[in-house]
Amino acid sequence: MKVNEDLFELAAGTDLDWLKRVFLAALRDAPAFVAFRTAGGAEVSVLIAPSTPVVLEENEDPLIDFAPVELLDWNDDSMTWGYE
């Protein structure tokens, strides 16, 4: 599975609790877009559109217990697969 390295660059310099809350909120409102600007200046938009309904319990980690999402890098419009 290929993972967007820009998202990892952002996550490495970001409060991970904040990042988890963003993804959890987007999952609850899916389909939804979440947009970021990485430390390297790349603009990344994450389309959260699970192929099956996602039900997360209060104690589940949305960065691990995650349906597939598509990551769209606005700089070159290339698509890669993200977390499962």
Tell whether the torsion through CA atoms of 68, 59, 5 and 29 is positive or negative.
positive
Residue-number span of the structural domain to which 45 is assigned? 5-81
pTM exceeds 0.95:
no
- Residue 18 near residue 12 (C-beta atoms within 8 A): no
- Counting the structural domains of the chain, the total is 1
pLDDT tens, position by position, 12-35: 555 666 666 667 677 666 677 777
> Looking at the predicted structure, is the pLDDT value of residue 47 above 70?
yes
Place of tokens 């993200």: 82
> Looking at the predicted structure, is the pLDDT value of residue 66 above 70?
no
